[in-house]
Amino acid sequence: MSLRSMRRPLWLALGCAGLMVAAACSAPGDSGEDGAAASTAAVATSCGSDPVTLKGYFETGFPVPKELANEFTKQFPNVKWDIREDQFAVITQNAPRVLADDPPDLMRLPQVSELVKDGLLKNLDGYAQAYGWDKWPASQLEQMRVGSNGQRGDGPLFAQGLNFSMTGVFYNKKLAAQIGMTEPPATLADLDALLQKAKDAGITPINQFNGGATGGLAFPLQNLMAAYGEPGPINDWIFQKPGATIDTPTNLQATKHLEKWIKAGYFASDINSQDYATMMSRFIGGKALFIFDGDWESGNLDKQMAGNAGFFLMPSAQPGGKRAAMSAPLTYGISAKAAHADCAAFFLNWVATNQKARDIDVSVGGSHPMGPSDAYMPPVKEGTVTAATLEAGATIGQDNGSMDFIANATGAIYAKSWTPQLQKLVAGQQTPEALLKSVQKDYESQVKG
């Protein structure tokens, strides 16, 4: 009945909507530049003594930042926290508008180039100078430096890490013993053999999250890429170096290898519907031999699977080949419009330099703290996963095999390209060739845009 009366002068009403447009016909958006600039302004290197409430936006499921925040308040009682938490995928979606319109003092950041281009992040060079961060090993901060065109790898510093993490393969020691795996595989062929053995023994060889908006197969894929090729070109691509491409012969080999694993049934059958937490809970419950994951879980695994979890770096395709791993700082930044930028920066420096904070980084987070190479290192118990992942960090340092994550190349590449493409690969709806071409095409349009 209601809509019935609409029949005649529809055009009339539409005309009215047209009028509304005419009334507001200046182009949307402003051209005023703000943020970004303030790098040279004098900075205060403390939180002062007045009460301060730092507004934080953290990632759910990772206790380190909160523990650090609590410890910080213990040492500096005038600083309180107002913390909001979301899953990483949600943070990625929200980052631009939260930074612009509801600026936090300290925020877990997704890929930073576009945020920097839009002037949403505070330039930290002033703090880097004041606190001497520029004397730390350059590789620690490299991924968070952004040039004026959005290219990463060098330029002013726009974020800081709470620690830096290392990825590789975690395994269940009990299940490994069942299939006779006594030492980590030395080559990719060894790994393939182990996967087949596990499958023959009725054990799920690999469990990996790949559902919803989070394509976790990017972990094994990038590890395979580094097993077949060099990490350098992959980093160039991630850092948006001109002319970089992901569609290279070795990457194609890697993608084909991943497809082989999928077709051979080495992954759990429902990975396309598994989120990260499901993967973790199943791995901890002994339902899979391997997962590809990072050392942020080391502390957790040492607690929940004490003595039963192991870690190794992805082996190279060549015997004795160099190893590489995704290794990235747990990136936190300060909004260009933050109310307490100085205090947030002081916190970031405290995290890297305070002994208690570094203890928390390792014992709760399982990852390597940021900071100068000769800084205090907390003792770690032999035989734990944490010890194994920290040691792996040293290997990667020697082999110069550190890479950023392919999901970090642009803000949208993970959600819009890698995730759907990898989900299609699992379902047999995409070929390795077309997968890389499609990702590269999206990448080019995003980098240009």
Partner 1 sequence: MIVNRREALTGRVLLVLLMAITVVPFLSLFVTALHPSGTYPSGLSWPAQPHWGNFADAFRAAHMGELLMSSVLIVAGVVPVSLLLGTLAGFAFGHLRMPGHRVGFLIFVLGLTLPFEGIITPLYYQVRDMGLLNTRWAIILPLIGLFMPFSVLWMRAHFVTMPDDLSEAARIDGATTWQLFWRVHVPLARPALSSLAILLFLWTWNQFLLAIVLVDDPAKRTMAGALGAFQGQWGTDIPLLCAGSLLILAPTLAVFLIFQRRFVAALLQGSIKG
Partner 2 sequence: MPARVTGRRARRARRPGAWLGWLFVAPAAVVYAVFVLRPLGLTVQYSFYDWNGIGASTWVGLENYTRLFTEPELFATILHAFELILFFSLIPVLLALFVAATIRGIAQSRLALVARTVLFLPQVIPLVAAGIMWSWLLSSTGLANELLSAVGLGGVTRAWLGDFDTALPAVGVIGAWVLVGLCTLLLLAGMSKIDTALYESARLDGAGPVREFFAITLPSLRQEIGVCVTVTVIAALASFDVVYISTQGGPGNATMVPGLEIFYLAFSEREVGRASALAVVLVALVLAVVLPIQRLTRDGSR
Residue 60: contacted member of partner 1, partner 2, none (CB under 5 to 8 Å, by partner type)? partner 1
Among 40, 51, 74, 97, binds partner 1 (CB under 8 A): 97
For residue 36, the minimal CB distance to partner 2 (Å) is: 12
Please identify, using beta-carbon distances, which residue of 10 and 42 lies nearer to partner 1: 10
In 76-124, which ranges are continuous DSSP H helix?
Answer: 88-101, 113-117
Q: In this complex, which beta carbon is closest to partner 1, that of residue 55 or of residue 368?
A: 55
- Annotate each residue in 44-73 with x if it binds partner 1 (CB under 8 A) or - if it does not, as one string: ----------------xx------------
Structure tokens at 366: 């399982």
Helices 218-228 and 419-426, axial angle in degrees (round to 10): 90
Indicate the residue among 29 and 379 with the shorter CB distance to partner 1.
29
- Give the C-alpha separation, 430 to 95, whole Å: 30
85 binds partner 1 (CB under 8 A): yes
Q: Is 282 in the site for partner 1 (CB under 8 A)?
A: yes
Whole-angstrom CA distances from 390 to 34, 288, 362 are 41, 23, 9
269 lies in the site for partner 1, by CB under 8 A? no
**Binder of residue 146, out of partner 2, partner 1, none (CB less than 5 to 8 A by kind):** none
Which region, judged by CB under 8 A, interacts with partner 1, from 175-183, 280-288, 395-403, 434-442?
A: 280-288
Q: Which two tokens stand for residue 318?
A: 């060549």
Asked if 276 touches partner 1 (CB under 8 A), the answer is yes
Q: Which residues bind partner 2 (CB under 8 A)?
A: 1, 3-7, 16-21, 23-25, 27-31, 89, 92-94, 96-97, 100, 118-120, 210-213, 269-274, 411-412, 415-416, 419-421, 423-424, 426-427, 429
Q: Which two tokens mark 89?
A: 């995928």
**Vertex 67 angle, CA 62 and 69, to 5°:** 110
**Which residue, 85 or 236, is less far from partner 1 as judged by CB?**
85
Q: Report which DSSP code applies to 331.
A: E
* DSSP3 helix / strand / coil % (the chain, rounded to 5): 50, 15, 35
- Residue 14 CB, shortest distance to partner 1, in Å, is 8
Residues in contact with partner 1, counted by CB under 8 A, come to a total of 31
- List the one residue out of 128, 176, 174, 123 whose CA is nearest residue 146: 123
DSSP of 286-327: T--SEEEEEGGGHHHHHHHTTTTEEEEPPPBSSTT----EEE
Nearer to partner 1 by Cβ, of 16 and 22: the residue is 16
Strands 79-86 and 52-59: parallel
37 binds partner 1 (CB under 8 A): no
Retrieve residue 364's tokens.
């709760």
**Cβ-based nearer residue to partner 2, 30 or 374:** 30
Q: Pick what 211 binds: partner 1, partner 2, none; C-beta below 5 to 8 Å, kind-dependent.
A: partner 2
Tokens representing residue 211 in the block: 């559902």
Return d(Cα 74, Cα 373) in angstroms, integer: 27
Residue 81 and residue 54 in contact, taking contact as beta carbons nearer than 8 Å? yes
**Residue owning tokens 């993967």:** 279
- Letters for 284-303 (x = contact with partner 1 by CB under 8 A, - = none) are -x------------------
Beta strand spans in 244-388 (E): 290-294, 309-312, 325-333, 368-369
Examine residue 41 and tell whether it contacts partner 1 (CB under 8 A). no
Contact set with partner 1 (CB under 8 A): 1-3, 5-6, 9-10, 12-13, 16-17, 28, 60-61, 84-87, 90, 94, 97-98, 101-102, 275-278, 281-282, 285
